[in-house]
Amino acid sequence: MDLQTEFDKTVELLESNRKQIPQINSLIDILSQQIAFKTFWNRDSLGNDTRDLITTYELEEAICNTSSSAFTIKKLLEGLKKTKQRKISKNQFITPINTVFVFTDFEKTELIGILVSNNNLQDEMDKVHKLKELVINVGGDNVLVDDSNIKNIFFNRKLISRY
């Protein structure tokens, strides 16, 4: 699947779950603004095994223990334990307000869970630019900075640039 299709199918899945999870509306409403989108693990690979994700997020839940949102680690764990999928796709929307991780099957037909982070698009862009400046200032000409989180910019739900 190309990136625009990955984006569209993920959004369609979110829209189809609006009634069950009303908090999705705030994400859908912001998709017409400038956002960055990235999909991880859209194929069978290391790191996207359901059992490994359960172990990782159980540990994170034990450490963080935050439950003030509809999108909690606890709810993600419920979805991971309930799914019949062996491998999971993780999709990331970095918006002007926050970052939203959407966990699905590869075909984007099953919404497994959602997590929200406070990092926003400007924060992510600032981090990448500061890191690039730092690398240049210390003479790290051969050092590559991972800027993949902000490379794929969408506006009004359309891919407009790949930095």
Task: Say if residue 135's pLDDT is above 80.
Answer: yes
Task: Say if residue 23's pLDDT is above 90.
Answer: no
State the total domains in the chain: 1
Which band of pLDDT confidence, cut at 50, 70 and 90, is reported for residue 69? low
Q: State how far Cα 107 lies from the chain centre.
A: 16
Whether 26 maps to a domain, the answer reads yes
Whether 127 maps to a domain, the answer reads no
Question: With 0-12 CB in 10 A as exposed, 13-18 as middle and 19+ as buried, what is 156?
Answer: exposed
Name the percent of the chain lying above pLDDT 90: 49
Distance CA 84, CA 63 (A): 27
| pLDDT recorded at residue 42 | 64
Distance CA 159, CA 37 (A): 9
Whether 62 maps to a domain, the answer reads yes
- Which whole number is the average pLDDT over 14-30? 91
Q: Which residues of 119-128 are buried (b: 16+ CB within 10 A; e: fewer)?
A: ebbeebbeeb
| pLDDT recorded at residue 149 | 80
- Which whole number is the average pLDDT over 69-75? 77
Q: How many CB atoms lie within 10 A of CB 34?
A: 15
The enclosing H or E element of 115 equals strand 111-117
Whether 138 maps to a domain, the answer reads no
- Which whole number is the average pLDDT over 86-105? 93
Query: What stretches of the chain show up as alpha helix (H) in DSSP?
Result: 3-16, 24-30, 50-64, 73-82, 121-137
Task: Say if residue 67's pLDDT is above 90.
Answer: no
Non-local (6+) Cβ contacts of 140 within 8 A are: none
Whether 16 maps to a domain, the answer reads yes
Whether 54 maps to a domain, the answer reads yes
- Which whole number is the average pLDDT over 135-159? 85
Distance CA 4, CA 30 (A): 17
Whether 49 maps to a domain, the answer reads yes
Distance CA 80, CA 57 (A): 10
Instruction: Give the domain range for residue 94.
Output: 3-120+150-162
pTM: 0.85
| pLDDT recorded at residue 8 | 96
Whether 143 maps to a domain, the answer reads no
